[in-house]
Every structure is written in structure tokens, then in C-alpha cells.
Amino acid sequence: MYSIMTMLPSILAISIFFQTFIPVLSTVSWEDWWTYDGISGPAFWGLINPEWSLCNKGRRQSPVNLDPEKLLYDPNLTELHVDRHRVDGIICNTGHSVMFYLENGTKNHINITGGPLSYKYQVYEIHIHYGQQDEMGSEHSINGYSFPAELQIFSFNSQLFANYSDAVQRSHGIVVVSLLLQLGDLSNPELRILTDHLDMIRYSGDEVPVKRLSVADLLPATHYYMTYDGSTTFPACHETVTWLILNKPIYITKQQVNTVLLRLFFLFVITLAQ
């Protein structure tokens, strides 16, 4: 996340604001309060809520910039395996971002194995991160370069834990496969299944069903990836995540990016007005 030291002038300047703001927050949900920018952005998560202290004091916080010259090659790492069957779920406007939740009752879970993983991880949800500009949407960057968007496939250790909520607080609990999105003339077909539903989730809390999504087919045609131990990129910034960032992007069209940006801008305006 961000360094506390770089924020000290701002913290001093708004200390009076915090004294009046914190009692108000006690009457609302913290989940409704946080955002990715401004006074409720990442730099302040750990300062406002003590339960989120890792966001400011953690040693393995994500996202990070990946420098190719500093990567170490591990010849013992194997290929990742993602189950190929299709699943149903719900795509939702959370008020923070766009998310796809896999259907809980399904008997055919999507599992991720292989690579650096010693356990089986069950896919739980997919996060889609976009920025306000085409070139600044991804959370992770490569050698200082940010991509238009980033799709993150969240999974939890189903061999040690009963659910995501338990796993996210424990070591070896969470694996996130990260796909960096690049602009292209043709988009990934499975990604298009998700973006085609955005017109139906205009307001925070809106959700619509999605049928027969192939998580495996979201992935690019590559066996190579970068991996590191980090954290969730949302409160409470738990440092229980193994990140797997594939070394090739998937593609999204300019029209799809503009559609998502319009929806997120509309989401932001509606959230402020509530």
C-alpha cells in the first residue's frame, strides 16, 4: 500500500476533520465507507480503523510493481491447472467495483492446483479493476507500466478451511490468479460474457445471473507466471495471499473499457449521492 510517512502533512491538516468524522462512521458500516481514492482511500484505511492496521503497517502489502530484472527463476515450479468446466454465478455492482461471485451451491467447484501451491484452492469470486484512464487501470504494474485493467481470480484453500472468510485470515489461505488486460481489436470471449452484463448493474447493489462461464478460458495461452506472497488489496489487507500473475495479457476492446468506465463513473456518482 502507501507509506505513512508520505502522508504525514495531509494527516496533520485533516486531524480536526477526523475528530468529527469518526463518531459519524461508528453509526455506519465500515464496508460502506472505504473507497480506492480520496479521504477514504488506501492511505487512510489503517489510520481510521484499527482493525485494518496492516494496510499501513504490513510488511507484505499488495499491489506491487514487478521489476523483471529482479525476478528469480525457479525451475522447480510446475504449470498451473484450472478446472475447465463451466459455472454459473452472479455479477454484481458492489458500490466499490464490479465482481463476479460463483454460485455457492454448485457441486462442481472450480479448483486451482499446481505451480507453487501445496494445496487445492477453490475459486470463489472474480474482481475486475479499471482506472479512470486506459493506461492506469491495473493494480499491479510491470517495470512501472500499468495496464488498462486487471482481472483477479480469488480462490481459498478448501483443504484446510471451510470457506473464504476463514481462509483469508490464515497462512496459505488465499490464492489470486491475476490477469493483466491490454487493449486489442478482439476481446477474450469469456471476458465479454462478463462485460456484456454491465448495462444491467447500473446501481450499487444491482446483480444479475451469469450462465456457463469458463474460468479456465479467461486465462491467456501461457505456462509462465510471476508469484509472490502479499495481501488482499482491500481492507483489512490480510497478508495471507499467494499472488500468481500471468506473464501474458488477455485482450479487451476500447469499447468495452469505455463501457466499464462509464458504469464505474455512474456508480461513483450514485454512491456519493446516497
Half-sphere exposure of 20 (CA within 13 A, CB side): 3
Give per-residue pLDDT as tens, 186-226: 999 999 999 999 888 888 889 999 999 999 999 999 999 99
Whole-model pTM: value is 0.84
Strand partners for 273: none
Q: Is the pLDDT of residue 7 over 70?
A: no
> 65-273 sits in which CATH class?
alpha beta
**Domain parsing of the chain, residue ranges:** 5-57, 65-273
Fill in the amino acid letter for 143.
Answer: N
Give per-residue pLDDT as tens, 245-271: 999 999 999 888 777 666 554 443 333
Give per-residue pLDDT as tens, 26-62: 445 767 778 888 888 899 999 988 999 999 999 999 9
Which bin fits 144, alpha (ψ -120 to 50), beta or left (φ > 0)? left
Burial 105-135 (b: 16+ CB within 10 A, else e): eeeebbbbbebbbebbbbbbbbbbbbbeebe
Give per-residue pLDDT as tens, 153-181: 999 999 999 999 999 999 999 999 999 99
